[in-house]
Chain A
Amino acid sequence: MLKKNNYNVRFLCLMVLLFVGSNLLAQKRITGTITNKDNNQPVSGATVQVKGSNNATLTRNDGTFEIMANDNAVLVITVVGHKSQEISVNNRAVVNIAMETSMNSLEEVIVTGYTAQRKRDLTGAISVVKPDEMNKIASPSFNQQIEGKASGVSVTTSGQPGAAASIRIRGNSTFTLGGGEPLLVIDGVQVRGAYQNTINPNDIESIQVLKDAATTAAYGIGANNGVIIITTKKGKAGQPKIEFNSYFGTQSATNSYDKILLGTAQEYADLVYQSYNNAGQWPQPGDAIVARIYGVGPKPVLPAYVNPLPANANNPITVDPATYNYPNNLIMKASPGTNWWDAVFHDATMQEYNLSASGGSERGRYFFSANYFDQDGIMKFTDFRRYTLRANSDFKVKGFTFGETFTMAFSDGVGQPNGNQVEQNTLTEGILKMQPIIPVYDIAGNWGGTKAGFGNGKNGLAKVTRNKDNRGETTRMLAGVFGEVRFLNHFTGRISYGIDYTVNFQKNFTYIDYESNEQAGSNGFNEQTDRFKHWIFAQQLTYNNNFGDHSVKAIGVHESQLNEFRSIGGSLNGYFLQSTDLWYLNTGLADPATRTVFSNGGTNNAKESYVGRVEYGYKGKYLLNGTVRYDQSSNFLLDKGQTFGGIGAAWVLTDENFLKNVTWLNSLKLRGAWGVTGNDAINGNVNYTTLGGGPGSTFYDINGTNNNAATGYSTTQLGLPVVWEKQKQYNIGLDGVLLRNRLEFSFDVYQRKNKDFLFQIQQPGTAGLFGSAVGPPYYNLGQISNKGFEFSATWRDRIASDWKYDITANLTFNKNNIDDLAPSLGLKSFFPAIPETRIGPVVRNEIDHPMGTFYGYTLDGIFQSDAEAAASTQQGAKIGRFKWKDVNGDKKIDDLDKGVIGDPNPDLIFGFNFNVAYKNFDFSMFLNGTLGNEIFNYTRYFTDFFGFSGNRSKRMLYDSWTPTHTDAKLPLLDITDNYSFVPSSYYVEDGSYLRCRVLQIGYNLPASLLSKAKIDHLRIYVQGQNLFTITNYGGLDPAMGTRDGTNATEVFSNVDYGNYPTAKVLMVGLNLSF
């Protein structure tokens, strides 16, 4: 840790820079108009800058500008879609400039965090996502919109409305919670976390994805997995402009279990009886429950009614519907085959309305927006709604600029009962675990269910219906203020403060479900409130100057940040009445003895950082930059401070004489970057062994009172001091513009090696960690690397004057690998620390393999004869059962033969975009997907084996082994086969897919029509999303959402627990501005 004195010395140095010299040269007012050379139309929003200074302004709607400059100053004019120009003032007072149209993007200004550069001056690998491309995907979150739009970027999410989406840039190199996510910098405020639904994507002006150390090094410890810079819209000088965008669409499920699950009660009964028959038996009188329902004998007989009458009644029982009594004698009419998917899923609507107003003058600008997003889920009674407001403005007073960005978002919604991708979620319980004979409603119109002995599944429709008022809410404020001063021509000082404040509230009522086999004992209610607070305070000094052919920019930054989180909740049971008006924790409303209050603890961490960056250019063709950042984080007990940094260099080859005359080559630039970044995304508590506990986990009734437990405490976290993850990375890139600006491409080769990656390794049982009662320690475990290359290219052209089109392709090849594991620990592999599955661990990480590989036996066919089974050393070997491969070759089948059986990481991720415009019509199509990734389809455990008395798969009935069907995929239907279900390559499937994310046709109403109504622009469009998906994956959706739970995103990627599938959307929309 730095000493206070040292610290102040650094700052004195900064201040000295501030006060050196103060003579201002004489300046005068210069005015002018910027027009387009092709059509003589005024160009609004162009940047006019005095070269070598930060003195700049924007042109108004009529193309005019005014700026203070010296007589010998050079003005630099830049605007998107045009070639930049430099023009000398030459003692003039009026400077008019005609701009040439440019079809390449080299003049775009790219915000790279603490600085902004023209694209042609970049040395790093940066992808830019255009808002207009992004907003073609209807979603409340930009995360989902950038999927496939930028090379190197992959996004995973589920189809649940409002679901979190996670982003990985160039693979993943960390297991820390949220550490794999890129750092988000929204208008200068650094934020993390999965609450990105609270940023209205319509407010976004630009998104830049920083991928290599030439730029990310400026963010040091936060930047290990890339940085996404989001700039929201500001007003432009000129007339107020109103924009209105809206769409309305309907969604339907892209897939269902219809292809997978048995559809009729008869098929289900046949399957069960076959599994008895194959074991040489059939349900006997007085035998298992199936006999009570389907009768005795080798063949099942479907009953007319089912109910939970005494188990020892005759088989099959005869049910008299007249004896119905709620809730004690619930009688159901046997269903010929309930389609539980259809009971739980339906078509649903989504809509969004966005209104913005912007404008201003050179003295001040403003941007306001309001947004309403409303999506009903295709799973009934799930939805997500969001309301946002934004106000961005800035004001110039003399040499000072002040401004703020402010957004407030309120969202609420109902998700799946019990969460996504967890074993007991609705998809699993309400659909997979419900036999087709159970009707949705019983004969009196109450819920049908499993009470008559149909396992422990829950009526999915009942479950989502009861869950409909269990709404969760998020309120988030993200705000920043800044002040900036320009002085001495070349200096800019900036001071800013940003705050990110979020409150989550969730309430949850559970009802007694009389129709279920294992009903709840009492009703109950709980609520929980989480509060997140984060602030960042930064000061920045920038120096910018040109000396002849040399251009220099230097930046110094100091920033400090504080993060706080705390949470409180409570529960109460035995409500006297169930009305939502009574969902409070007042003891008078329910059984006071059951009231509990709990705190989910808290986090509290701080960071303080210094950044220095220098950018140097010679003749605009040799470009060099270097960044040093010193970070201190309270998340570490030892070595709080660490220095990071990076250098980047670029060479514009086309500026050299030997390429000057190559006409087909417009621009060619070679780039290289190297640097070190870090990651501190752990909870600082893990450095310490902590103790604690609570009433249920450590308290004990030592005095035998029966209702009063004495206070006890135990270890809750085994701590070890750890250090940061440090990543060294290099990048070599080539950017080109060819064939008269029609083809632009970018190619990058990269390698990043993350050393000392942090992991909570599963400890041996002897360490005394059990369940989640004691957190295992973090270790700096070893090195994870990602190597790969990215390619993106855009071809843009016109055919005749009316036809315009462009095609863009993004490809990323990435190879992930665990290079080494701490030799001192003697590890070759390690299991995740957190809960697994009912069939034991299915993920184990191994040295020299990628992260998160699947673990189990390798399937080696099916035992085809008694002799073959008898000769096997495999436990439970029997004809018709799965046979495992002797992987280690020791002539014995045992646990040592378990190993890597699949890899969740894709070899290739890709996106293709096509745009065509003809006169006022436009068409676009966007395809994306992955290749070479695998999925552990855990839902097969529920559908293909006898683990639960739920519904079963068609393949189990029709493609299981029999003596006459020996090339079957599944083992013999055998009620006694308790062996074939264990984790094996049977569960592993190819997860590659190609999906049509967007297909859109739009029409711009002619200006002649609109001008009468004083409308600038009106476009209407129809659109389809997710219209088709090409995949071999047999589960619901190969684009896997993340699993709920601590660190689960990183550790259980592509384990399919029954995912909320993506919806197909058909919509109409309009864009209007005036």
Chain B
Amino acid sequence: MRKNIYKLFGALIIGVSIFACKKSFLDRPPQAAFTEASLSNAKGVNATLIAAYAALDGWTDNGWGNAAGNPWPTAGSNWIFGSVASDDAYPGSQPNDQVPVERIRRYQWLTDETYYRAKWQAIYWGVSRTNLTLRLVDKAEDLTQADKDQIIGESKFLRAHYHFDGYKMFKNIPFIDETTTEFRQPNDVDIFPKIEADFQEAIAKLPEVSSVSSGRATKGAAQAYLARAYMFVGRYADAKPLLQAVIAGGKYALVDNYHDNFDPATQNNKEMLFAFKASVNDGAGESANGNWGDRLNAPHSSTVTECCGFHQPSQNLVNAFKTDANGLPLFATFNNTDYNQATDNVDPRLDWTVGRIGSPYLDWGPFLAGWIRDAGYCGTFSPKKNIFAKAEKGTLSTASGWQSVPSAIDIPFIRYSDVLLMAAECEIETNGNLDLARTYINQVRTRAGNFVQGPGTSAANISVPLGTGVFPTATYKIGTYPSTGWTQDYARQAVRWERRMELAMEGYRLFDLRRWNVDVDVLNTYMNVEKTKRTALFAGAETVTSKHHLYPIPSVEIDLSKINGTAQLKQNPGY
């Protein structure tokens, strides 16, 4: 009997050990996750390509709460680095709110500022997603060559976009491709040829068709983008044929109403060559697919949104919209007096770009003084291009989460008006056809005069044709340039001015000033006037010098690039 018990006991042990020894017991693949192998197919590769687009706004909801990964410095719109750092805008809000933005505004550009690092990381985060797609596309056997070309074309377009974003910011950055495994790369080689090559390949592989309802990169977008890149390094002659090809292709055109480019309901239009496509109330927590990077940039009002009052237009920008009796800009005198709505003519684009107290704010009614967080600090102007209409609240803006700002308003990266202005600039700078340049500029100005902000408060009359309504808070006047006096110098001034007006508050201004190499002069002149108007804001500001041509390489990144104690990344000059 006793022996039987022992046998039973022993059998139990052996039984258990056999059970425990099953091969699968110690073989535990990753849980709740894909591997590269499981996504190396058509479906998987397309999904990774979608994710490569998703990084265009520079924001991952997973990074929330990470001081260095805040969505503001990484915003696809570059509102801090391109706009606040230029003469277009102030930080907004109130003192000591987002101090890094204030430091950037004051040209106190610290090498260990967390914001530069966040931007740096966001750029390569986008790059790595394109590289993943490029690695997987080769392994996917169920893709046709045509499919592959399309995917490679889109990926390289995006990779070039991300690198170029970094190039504008820091210039001296490494180029990371799908074969890179050592990420501590030096930044002593000009990566422009690689950006160029990626765009060239995108041009070769992408279809011509303008897919109006789609956010995908196209040949036209790649041509225009490469032209922009060439112009950034002064290669106007290389840019010109690309832009001519886009214009001649006829796939894109100006929309009648300037504001349609900033209304989520009308943004999918023939003018938009390429944009970040924002989406809200789509199942992502707190509408994380909305335009998060611009989340702070809304009036501080419990009526419109609860946030936050950032990215306020500067007095200088508002003054620049003033026009003379012919509706032309006041190049020399615009900033002598501040814009006065009772006496000054103004470009209608002012009221599509800037919220002004007492003036209609889309369909929200007259902009109220109480919607400004701290008028004493950054004035009384408010951003407008990234504000949804009252009629769109909760449907085209988020219905959940912290504050109500994220909306479906896209971030335009290339608009056709930009293409026209770039083409005009190329004609001017290459001693080309000045009249053609004038035609391009006038097309943009003519369109700008079509519709103005309406005085009513209903969704139907946000826009009204100029001349059909009564506009008690502004006298709109915009004219085209005549041929008389249209010299190269004058044309250059005109096209540069036009870019500022047309693209105001869209994050391009500082980078334009840099490529024209006028940033030091323009910004110091600007500050000398502004600091008499906004004392607290400009207190302690540094003088702009040649070092401000480039943002500093984030010092932590330099530290992280060390191999055996030697940093592979070199700091930019002057820091």
A and B: interacting chains: yes
Please tell me if B564 contacts chain A, counting CB pairs below 8 Å: yes
For window 357-389 of A, CB contacts with B under 8 Å fall at none
Please tell me if A805 contacts chain B, counting CB pairs below 8 Å: no
Question: A763, B183: Cβ atoms under 8 Å?
Answer: yes
Question: B110, A521: Cβ atoms under 8 Å?
Answer: no
Could you say which of B65, B121, B281, B396 contacts A770, with CB atoms under 8 Å apart? B121
Which of A312, A594, A691, A704 gathers the greatest number of chain B CB atoms within 10 Å?
A: A704
Which residues from B are CB-within-8-Å of A702? 50, 53, 214-216, 277
21 contacts between A and B (CB under 8 A): A286-B375, A287-B536, A288-B94, A291-B376, A312-B375, A315-B376, A400-B5, A423-B67, A519-B306, A573-B399, A574-B400, A596-B283, A685-B30, A691-B132, A692-B33, A697-B288, A713-B44, A768-B124, A768-B128, A826-B565, A829-B562
* Assembled-state Cα–Cα distance A593/B60 (Å): 21
Which residues from B are CB-within-8-Å of A710? 50
Could you say which of A290, A456, A539 contacts B13, with CB atoms under 8 Å apart? A539
For window 265-303 of A, CB contacts with B under 8 Å fall at 279, 281, 283-284, 286-292
B170-214 interface mask toward A, CB cutoff 8 Å, 1 = contact, 0 = none?
Answer: 000010100010011100000000000000000000000000011
7 residue pairs, one from A and one from B, having the closest CB atoms: A771-B63, A768-B128, A976-B540, A696-B288, A712-B50, A771-B69, A573-B400
Which residues from A are CB-within-8-Å of B63? 770-773
* Assembled-state Cα–Cα distance A692/B131 (Å): 16
B268-285 interface mask toward A, CB cutoff 8 Å, 1 = contact, 0 = none?
Answer: 100000000111111111
Q: List the B residue with the shortest CB-CB distance to A634.
A: B28
Please tell me if B370 contacts chain A, counting CB pairs below 8 Å: yes
* Assembled-state Cα–Cα distance A844/B372 (Å): 42
Which residues from A are CB-within-8-Å of B215? 700-704
* Assembled-state Cα–Cα distance A281/B48 (Å): 55
Tally of contacts, chain A with chain B, CB under 8 A = 469
Please tell me if B112 contacts chain A, counting CB pairs below 8 Å: yes
Which residues from A are CB-within-8-Å of B125? 768-770, 773-774
Question: B95, A288: Cβ atoms under 8 Å?
Answer: yes
Please tell me if A26 contacts chain B, counting CB pairs below 8 Å: no
- 15 extra interface residue pairs, beta carbon distance < 8 Å, beyond A691-B48, A770-B74, A978-B540: A292-B374, A311-B376, A400-B5, A519-B403, A594-B401, A604-B31, A698-B50, A707-B280, A765-B123, A768-B129, A771-B60, A827-B562, A829-B562, A949-B95, A977-B540
Knowing A692-B32, A698-B51, A772-B62, the reply to whether A640 touches B26 (Cβ < 8 A) is yes
Please tell me if B458 contacts chain A, counting CB pairs below 8 Å: no
Which residues from A are CB-within-8-Å of B113? 840
For window 49-73 of B, CB contacts with A under 8 Å fall at 49-54, 56, 60-69
* Assembled-state Cα–Cα distance A975/B124 (Å): 35
Knowing A519-B306, A707-B281, A714-B51, the reply to whether A841 touches B556 (Cβ < 8 A) is yes
Question: A696, B289: Cβ atoms under 8 Å?
Answer: yes
Please tell me if A345 contacts chain B, counting CB pairs below 8 Å: no
Could you say which of B3, B213, B404 contacts A22, with CB atoms under 8 Å apart? B3
Could you say which of B69, B103, B280, B305 contacts A706, with CB atoms under 8 Å apart? B280
Q: List the A residue with the shortest CB-CB distance to B216.
A: A702
Q: List the A residue with the shortest CB-CB distance to B370.
A: A310
Please tell me if B14 contacts chain A, counting CB pairs below 8 Å: yes
Which residues from B are CB-within-8-Å of A697? 54, 60-62, 288
Could you say which of A289, A946, A974 contacts B376, with CB atoms under 8 Å apart? A289
Question: B403, A520: Cβ atoms under 8 Å?
Answer: yes
Please tell me if B117 contacts chain A, counting CB pairs below 8 Å: yes
Binding site secondary structure of chain A: loop
Question: A518, B307: Cβ atoms under 8 Å?
Answer: yes
Could you say which of B33, B94, B124, B562 contacts A765, with CB atoms under 8 Å apart? B124
Please tell me if B120 contacts chain A, counting CB pairs below 8 Å: yes
Question: A601, B50: Cβ atoms under 8 Å?
Answer: no
Question: B51, A700: Cβ atoms under 8 Å?
Answer: yes
Knowing A640-B26, A704-B213, A894-B111, the reply to whether A767 touches B128 (Cβ < 8 A) is yes
* Assembled-state Cα–Cα distance A326/B65 (Å): 31
Which residues from B are CB-within-8-Å of A947? 96, 99
Please tell me if B454 contacts chain A, counting CB pairs below 8 Å: no
Q: List the B residue with the shortest CB-CB distance to A714.
A: B51
For window 936-971 of A, CB contacts with B under 8 Å fall at 946-949
Q: List the B residue with the shortest CB-CB distance to A279.
A: B539
Which residues from B are CB-within-8-Å of A976? 106, 539-540
How many chain A residues touch B (CB < 8 A): the figure is: 152
A493-529 interface mask toward B, CB cutoff 8 Å, 1 = contact, 0 = none?
Answer: 1010000000000000000001001111110100000
- Closest CB of chain A to B393's CB: distance in Å? 10
Question: A840, B556: Cβ atoms under 8 Å?
Answer: yes
B389-406 interface mask toward A, CB cutoff 8 Å, 1 = contact, 0 = none?
Answer: 000000110111111110
Question: B30, A688: Cβ atoms under 8 Å?
Answer: yes
Please tell me if A711 contacts chain B, counting CB pairs below 8 Å: yes
Please tell me if B36 contacts chain A, counting CB pairs below 8 Å: yes
* Assembled-state Cα–Cα distance A894/B111 (Å): 9
Please tell me if A693 contacts chain B, counting CB pairs below 8 Å: yes
* Assembled-state Cα–Cα distance A550/B213 (Å): 88
B343-381 interface mask toward A, CB cutoff 8 Å, 1 = contact, 0 = none?
Answer: 000000000000001000000000011101111110010
Q: At the interface with chain B, which of A1-9, A346-354, A916-924, A1024-1032?
A: A1-9
Q: List the A residue with the shortest CB-CB distance to B568.
A: A764
Please tell me if A39 contacts chain B, counting CB pairs below 8 Å: no
For window 669-722 of A, CB contacts with B under 8 Å fall at 684-685, 687-717
Question: B97, A456: Cβ atoms under 8 Å?
Answer: yes
Q: List the B residue with the shortest CB-CB distance to A5.
A: B21
* Assembled-state Cα–Cα distance A558/B12 (Å): 13
Question: A772, B69: Cβ atoms under 8 Å?
Answer: yes
Please tell me if A866 contacts chain B, counting CB pairs below 8 Å: no
Which residues from B are CB-within-8-Å of A608? 20-21, 25-26
Which residues from A are CB-within-8-Å of B286? 696
* Assembled-state Cα–Cα distance A311/B375 (Å): 5
Which residues from A are CB-within-8-Å of B285? 571, 596, 598, 695-696
Please tell me if A560 contacts chain B, counting CB pairs below 8 Å: yes
Question: B540, A279: Cβ atoms under 8 Å?
Answer: yes
- Closest CB of chain B to A1007's CB: distance in Å? 48
Which residues from B are CB-within-8-Å of A309? 370
Question: A632, B26: Cβ atoms under 8 Å?
Answer: yes
* Assembled-state Cα–Cα distance A591/B5 (Å): 65
* Assembled-state Cα–Cα distance A289/B306 (Å): 18
Q: List the A residue with the shortest CB-CB distance to B10.
A: A15
Question: A706, B264: Cβ atoms under 8 Å?
Answer: yes
Q: List the A residue with the shortest CB-CB distance to B380.
A: A312
Q: List the B residue with the shortest CB-CB distance to A328.
A: B302
Which residues from B are CB-within-8-Å of A982? 110, 112
Which residues from B are CB-within-8-Å of A286? 375-376
Please tell me if B145 contacts chain A, counting CB pairs below 8 Å: no
Could you say which of A634, A769, A771 contacts B26, with CB atoms under 8 Å apart? A634
* Assembled-state Cα–Cα distance A894/B572 (Å): 13
Could you say which of B31, B264, B536 contacts A603, with CB atoms under 8 Å apart? B31
Which of A327, A763, A895, A948 gathers the greatest number of chain B CB atoms within 10 Å?
A: A895
B17-54 interface mask toward A, CB cutoff 8 Å, 1 = contact, 0 = none?
Answer: 11011010111111111111011000010011111111
Q: List the B residue with the shortest CB-CB distance to A456.
A: B97
Q: At the interface with chain B, which of A84-92, A230-238, A469-477, A831-839?
A: A831-839
Could you say which of B39, B117, B539 contacts A281, with CB atoms under 8 Å apart? B539
* Assembled-state Cα–Cα distance A982/B103 (Å): 13
- Closest CB of chain A to B42's CB: distance in Å? 13
Please tell me if A1008 contacts chain B, counting CB pairs below 8 Å: no
Question: B50, A711: Cβ atoms under 8 Å?
Answer: yes
Please tell me if A18 contacts chain B, counting CB pairs below 8 Å: yes
Which residues from A are CB-within-8-Å of B398? 521
Please tell me if B561 contacts chain A, counting CB pairs below 8 Å: yes
Please tell me if B521 contacts chain A, counting CB pairs below 8 Å: no
* Assembled-state Cα–Cα distance A596/B288 (Å): 12
Knowing A18-B6, A289-B377, the reply to whether A946 touches B121 (Cβ < 8 A) is no
Which residues from A are CB-within-8-Å of B368? 310
Which of B111, B305, B357, B375 gathers the greatest number of chain A CB atoms within 10 Å?
A: B375
Which of A290, A691, A771, A831 gathers the greatest number of chain B CB atoms within 10 Å?
A: A771
